[in-house]
Amino acid sequence: MGVEVGYTFPKKTFTVEPHRVEEFVIALGVEPYSGWTPTKGNAVPPGFFMYVITYGADEVHSKLNFDLLRTVYGGTDSEYFAPVNVGDVLSVAPVISSLKVKETKNGKLTFAELTCEYINADGIIAVREKSTTVERGN
Amino acid sequence: MADKDSSTPTLSSPEITRLRLAYMAVAMRDPNLVHMEDDYAKKSGLPQVIAHGTFAVAYVGFALSQAVGMDRVRRVKVELTAPVFPQDIISVVYTDLQTSGDLTSARISARNQSGILVARGESTWVTNPSH
pLDDT tens, residue order, chain B (131 aa): 334 445 689 999 999 999 999 999 999 999 899 999 999 999 988 999 999 999 999 999 999 999 999 999 999 999 999 999 999 999 999 999 999 999 999 999 999 999 999 999 999 999 987 65
Question: Among partner residues A29, A71, A74, which is closest to B14 by beta-carbon distance?
Answer: A29
Is A58 part of any domain? yes
CA–CA distances in Å: residue A113 to residues A49, A128, B82:
15, 13, 19
Model confidence pLDDT, tens digit, residues A77-110 = 999 999 999 999 999 999 999 999 999 988 899 9
Q: What angle do CA B54, A131, A43 make, to 5 degrees?
A: 60
CATH number, residue A104 = 3.10.129.10
pLDDT of A87: 97
Domain count, chain A: 1
CATH topology of domain B10-126: Thiol Ester Dehydrase; Chain A (3.10.129)
**pTM (two decimals):** 0.94
Distance from CA of A103 to the nearest CA of B (A): 17
Q: Do B70 and A44 touch (CB under 8 A)?
A: yes
Q: Give B15's Cβ-side CA count (13 Å radius).
A: 5
Question: Which domain, by its residues, includes A61?
Answer: 12-136
Q: How far is A90 from chain B (nearest CA, A)?
A: 17
Is A23–B43 a contact, with Cβ atoms under 8 angstroms apart?
no
Q: Please report the pLDDT score of residue B7 as a whole number.
A: 64
Interface mutation target, options B78, B90, B120, chain A, most CBs of A under 10 Å: B78
- B70–A33 CB contact, under 8 Å: yes
In this complex, which of A30, A69, A72 lies closest to B14 when CB atoms are compared? Answer: A30
Asked if the structure places residue A52 within a domain, the reply is yes
